[in-house]
Chain A
Amino acid sequence: MSNSNLTRRGLLKTSAVAGAGVALPTIFTASSAAAYTNEPTGSTVTLGFNVPQTGPYADEGADELRAYELAVEHLNGGGDGGMMNTFSSKALQGNGILGKKVEYVTGDTQTKSDAARASAKSMIEKDGAVMITGGSSSGVAVAVQALCQEAGVIFMAGLTHSNDTTGKDKRANGFRHFFNSYMSGAALAPVLKNAYGDDRKAYHLTADYNWGYTTEEAVRSSTEAMGWETVAAVKTPLTQTDFSSYIAPVLQSGADTLVLNHYGGNMVNSLTNAVQFGLRDKQVNGKDFQIIVPLYSRLMARGAGANVKGIFGSTNWHWSLTDEGSKAFVKSFGEKYGFPPSQAAHTTYVQTLLYADACERAGSFQPCAVVEALEDFEFDGLGNGKTLYRGDDHQCFKDVLVVKGKENPTSEFDLLEIVEVTPAEQVTYAPDHPQFQGGALGSCNDGA
Chain B
Amino acid sequence: MLGLNKKDTSLLILVAALALFAPFILNPFPVGSAMAQFNAGYPDLMQRFVIFGIFAIGFNILFGLTGYLSFGHAAFLGVGSYAAVWMFKLLSMNVVPAIILSVITAGLFALVIGYVSLRRSGIYFSILTLAFAQMTYALAYSVLTPITGGETGLQLALDDPRVLDGAATGDNIPVPGFFGMEMRGSSQLEIGDWAFTFSNGYYFCAIIMLLSFYLSIRIFRSPFGMMLRAIKSNQQRLYYTGLNARPYTLAAFVISGMYAGLAGGLMAAMDPLAGAERMFWTASGEVVLMTILGGVGTLIGPVLGAGLIKYMENILSKINSDILHGWFAFLPDGLEDLIVTLIYPFIGKGWHLTLGLMFMLVVIFLPGGLVEAGQRISRLFGRKKADDKSEKSTSTEPAE
In the complex, the answer to whether B159 meets A4 with C-beta atoms within 8 Å is: no
In whole Å, how far is A212's beta carbon from the nearest beta carbon of chain B?
9
Q: Tell me the bound Cα distance from A53 to B319 in angstroms.
A: 12
* List of A residues within 8 angstroms of B198 by Cβ: 28
Question: Is A367 an interface residue when CB atoms closer than 8 A count as contact?
Answer: no
In the complex, the answer to whether A211 meets B1 with C-beta atoms within 8 Å is: no
In the complex, the answer to whether A2 meets B207 with C-beta atoms within 8 Å is: no
* List of A residues within 8 angstroms of B142 by Cβ: 208-209, 235, 237-238
In the complex, the answer to whether A138 meets B151 with C-beta atoms within 8 Å is: yes
Question: Is A254 an interface residue when CB atoms closer than 8 A count as contact?
Answer: no
Question: Is A188 an interface residue when CB atoms closer than 8 A count as contact?
Answer: no
* List of B residues within 8 angstroms of A107 by Cβ: 317-318
Which residue from A106, A114, A149, A442 sits with its C-beta under 8 Å from B320? A106
Which residue from B42, B280, B318 sits with its C-beta under 8 Å from A125? B42
In the complex, the answer to whether B271 meets A117 with C-beta atoms within 8 Å is: yes
Known A-B contacts A108-B317, A112-B277; A1 and B153 likewise in contact (beta carbons under 8 Å): no
* List of B residues within 8 angstroms of A121 by Cβ: 42-44, 271
Q: Tell me the bound Cα distance from A440 to B155 in angstroms.
A: 13
In the complex, the answer to whether A2 meets B221 with C-beta atoms within 8 Å is: yes
Known A-B contacts A2-B222, A125-B197, A439-B157; A14 and B2 likewise in contact (beta carbons under 8 Å): yes
Which residue from B39, B141, B318 sits with its C-beta under 8 Å from A106? B318
* List of B residues within 8 angstroms of A440 by Cβ: 157-159, 171
Closest A residue, CB atoms, query B275? A113
* List of B residues within 8 angstroms of A150 by Cβ: 173, 175, 184
In the complex, the answer to whether A122 meets B42 with C-beta atoms within 8 Å is: yes
In the complex, the answer to whether A139 meets B155 with C-beta atoms within 8 Å is: no
* List of A residues within 8 angstroms of B10 by Cβ: none
In whole Å, how far is B44's beta carbon from the nearest beta carbon of chain A?
4
Q: Tell me the bound Cα distance from A112 to B4 in angstroms.
A: 42
Interface string of B249-275 (1 = CB under 8 A from A): 000000000000000000000010101
Q: Tell me the bound Cα distance from A53 to B197 in angstroms.
A: 29
In the complex, the answer to whether A25 meets B155 with C-beta atoms within 8 Å is: no
Tell which of B145, B278, B320 has the most Cβ of chain A within 10 Å.
B320
Question: Is A434 an interface residue when CB atoms closer than 8 A count as contact?
Answer: no
In the complex, the answer to whether B187 meets A29 with C-beta atoms within 8 Å is: yes
Closest B residue, CB atoms, query A112? B277
In whole Å, how far is A225's beta carbon from the nearest beta carbon of chain B?
26
Which residue from A1, A169, A172, A210 sits with its C-beta under 8 Å from B222? A1
* List of B residues within 8 angstroms of A115 by Cβ: 313
In the complex, the answer to whether B275 meets A54 with C-beta atoms within 8 Å is: no
Within 8 A of B (CB), among A36-58: 53-54, 58
Within 8 A of A (CB), among B147-172: 150-153, 155-159, 170-172
Closest A residue, CB atoms, query B223? A1
Which residue from A22, A125, A138, A443 sits with its C-beta under 8 Å from B152? A138
In the complex, the answer to whether A125 meets B141 with C-beta atoms within 8 Å is: no
* List of A residues within 8 angstroms of B352 by Cβ: 54
Q: Tell me the bound Cα distance from A328 to B151 in angstroms.
A: 37
* List of B residues within 8 angstroms of A54 by Cβ: 349, 352
Q: Tell me the bound Cα distance from A235 to B210 in angstroms.
A: 46
In the complex, the answer to whether B203 meets A31 with C-beta atoms within 8 Å is: no
In the complex, the answer to whether B226 meets A1 with C-beta atoms within 8 Å is: yes
Question: Is B3 an interface residue when CB atoms closer than 8 A count as contact?
Answer: yes
Question: Is A195 an interface residue when CB atoms closer than 8 A count as contact?
Answer: no
In the complex, the answer to whether A21 meets B187 with C-beta atoms within 8 Å is: no
In the complex, the answer to whether A442 meets B349 with C-beta atoms within 8 Å is: no
In the complex, the answer to whether A113 meets B3 with C-beta atoms within 8 Å is: no
Q: Tell me the bound Cα distance from A265 to B167 in angstroms.
A: 45
In the complex, the answer to whether B188 meets A53 with C-beta atoms within 8 Å is: no
* List of B residues within 8 angstroms of A164 by Cβ: 152
Question: Is B325 an interface residue when CB atoms closer than 8 A count as contact?
Answer: no
In the complex, the answer to whether B138 meets A146 with C-beta atoms within 8 Å is: no
Within 8 A of A (CB), among B84-100: none
Known A-B contacts A3-B3, A126-B39; A114 and B277 likewise in contact (beta carbons under 8 Å): yes
Interface string of A1-26 (1 = CB under 8 A from B): 11111000010011000000110111
In the complex, the answer to whether A10 meets B1 with C-beta atoms within 8 Å is: yes
In the complex, the answer to whether B172 meets A445 with C-beta atoms within 8 Å is: yes
Q: Tell me the bound Cα distance from A30 to B198 in angstroms.
A: 10
In the complex, the answer to whether B3 meets A2 with C-beta atoms within 8 Å is: yes
* List of B residues within 8 angstroms of A2 by Cβ: 3, 218, 221-223
Chain B, interface residues (CB within 8 Å), range: 35 or more
In the complex, the answer to whether A237 meets B138 with C-beta atoms within 8 Å is: yes
Interface string of A99-118 (1 = CB under 8 A from B): 00000011110001111011
Which residue from B158, B159, B173, B349 sits with its C-beta under 8 Å from A53? B349
Closest B residue, CB atoms, query A53? B349
Question: Is A347 an interface residue when CB atoms closer than 8 A count as contact?
Answer: no
In whole Å, how far is A207's beta carbon from the nearest beta carbon of chain B?
9
Q: Tell me the bound Cα distance from A317 to B217 in angstroms.
A: 60
Which residue from A24, A28, A32, A147 sits with its C-beta under 8 Å from B271? A147
* List of A residues within 8 angstroms of B218 by Cβ: 2
In the complex, the answer to whether A122 meets B314 with C-beta atoms within 8 Å is: yes
Q: Tell me the bound Cα distance from A443 to B197 in angstroms.
A: 28
Which residue from A25, A142, A151 sits with its C-beta under 8 Å from B200? A25
In whole Å, how far is B197's beta carbon from the nearest beta carbon of chain A?
7
Question: Is A143 an interface residue when CB atoms closer than 8 A count as contact?
Answer: yes
Question: Is A222 an interface residue when CB atoms closer than 8 A count as contact?
Answer: no
Known A-B contacts A3-B5, A21-B210; A118 and B44 likewise in contact (beta carbons under 8 Å): yes
Q: Tell me the bound Cα distance from A30 to B45 in angstroms.
A: 21
In the complex, the answer to whether A442 meets B204 with C-beta atoms within 8 Å is: no
In whole Å, how far is A350's beta carbon from the nearest beta carbon of chain B?
22
Question: Is A326 an interface residue when CB atoms closer than 8 A count as contact?
Answer: no
Q: Tell me the bound Cα distance from A147 to B153 in angstroms.
A: 13
Question: Is A261 an interface residue when CB atoms closer than 8 A count as contact?
Answer: no
In the complex, the answer to whether B151 meets A210 with C-beta atoms within 8 Å is: yes
In whole Å, how far is B168's beta carbon from the nearest beta carbon of chain A?
10
* List of A residues within 8 angstroms of B2 by Cβ: 10, 14
Question: Is B14 an interface residue when CB atoms closer than 8 A count as contact?
Answer: no
Which residue from A4, A143, A209, A211 sits with its C-beta under 8 Å from B273? A143
Question: Is A181 an interface residue when CB atoms closer than 8 A count as contact?
Answer: no
Which residue from A139, A151, A443 sits with its C-beta under 8 Å from B171? A443
Known A-B contacts A25-B200, A235-B142; A143 and B275 likewise in contact (beta carbons under 8 Å): yes
In the complex, the answer to whether B273 meets A113 with C-beta atoms within 8 Å is: yes
* List of A residues within 8 angstroms of B145 by Cβ: 210, 213
In the complex, the answer to whether A146 meets B185 with C-beta atoms within 8 Å is: no
* List of A residues within 8 angstroms of B155 by Cβ: 142-143, 146, 169
In the complex, the answer to whether B314 meets A119 with C-beta atoms within 8 Å is: yes
Known A-B contacts A14-B1, A26-B181, A117-B273; A105 and B200 likewise in contact (beta carbons under 8 Å): no
Question: Is A162 an interface residue when CB atoms closer than 8 A count as contact?
Answer: yes
In whole Å, how far is A64's beta carbon from the nearest beta carbon of chain B?
13
Question: Is B367 an interface residue when CB atoms closer than 8 A count as contact?
Answer: no
In the complex, the answer to whether B150 meets A209 with C-beta atoms within 8 Å is: yes
Question: Is B398 an interface residue when CB atoms closer than 8 A count as contact?
Answer: no
Q: Tell me the bound Cα distance from A149 to B271 in angstroms.
A: 12
Question: Is B348 an interface residue when CB atoms closer than 8 A count as contact?
Answer: yes
In the complex, the answer to whether B181 meets A143 with C-beta atoms within 8 Å is: no
In the complex, the answer to whether B151 meets A25 with C-beta atoms within 8 Å is: no
Tell which of A2, A5, A162, A439 has the most Cβ of chain B within 10 Å.
A2
In the complex, the answer to whether B153 meets A118 with C-beta atoms within 8 Å is: no
Q: Pick 9 A–B contacts, CB within 8 A, sort by A.
A: A25-B207, A53-B317, A54-B349, A108-B318, A117-B273, A121-B42, A142-B155, A209-B141, A238-B141
Closest 7 CB pairs of A and B: A443-B171, A209-B151, A4-B3, A121-B44, A53-B349, A113-B275, A208-B142
Besides A28-B203, A143-B155, 14 other CB < 8 A contacts? A21-B207, A22-B207, A24-B203, A24-B207, A25-B207, A107-B318, A112-B275, A113-B275, A113-B277, A117-B271, A122-B314, A139-B153, A237-B142, A442-B158
